[in-house]
Amino acid sequence: MLQKTIAYRDAWKTRLMKHAFTHYVTLTTNRADLSVAYVRRRLREWDARINREFVGSRWKERPDERMLWFAFLEDADVNPHWHLLIEVDPEHADR
């Protein structure tokens, strides 16, 4: 089991090292009564708002200009919150 865990961790590390992340963000609700489905939906809504701000109203049609992120949910049963590694297009990095 430990070998599988180490292999899984190493695979994620290899994948993440291929990116030039520009931001580290924590998104939290400070509420324990939210379902995982709800906080996932809120994460997608946040993604849409940020990409709309960066890329414009047609952001869905321009995937090469959207921000790239990896999100990790923590404390889903107690205080669900996301830790994100984000790569923003240099054109939008100062916004």
pLDDT in tens, 34-73: 999 999 999 999 999 999 999 999 999 999 889 999 999 9
Tell me the C-alpha to C-alpha distance, in Å, between residue 42 and each of 4, 7, 27, 63.
32, 31, 10, 20
What distance separates the 2 farthest-apart alpha carbons in the chain? 47
Domain that holds residue 36: 21-87
Domain count along the chain: 1
* Residue 68 placed within a domain: yes
* Residue 92 placed within a domain: no
* Residue 13 placed within a domain: no
pLDDT of residue 1: 81
* Residue 15 placed within a domain: no
* Residue 3 placed within a domain: no
The band of 93, judged by pLDDT with boundaries at 50, 70 and 90, is: low
* Residue 6 placed within a domain: no
pTM score, two decimals? 0.82
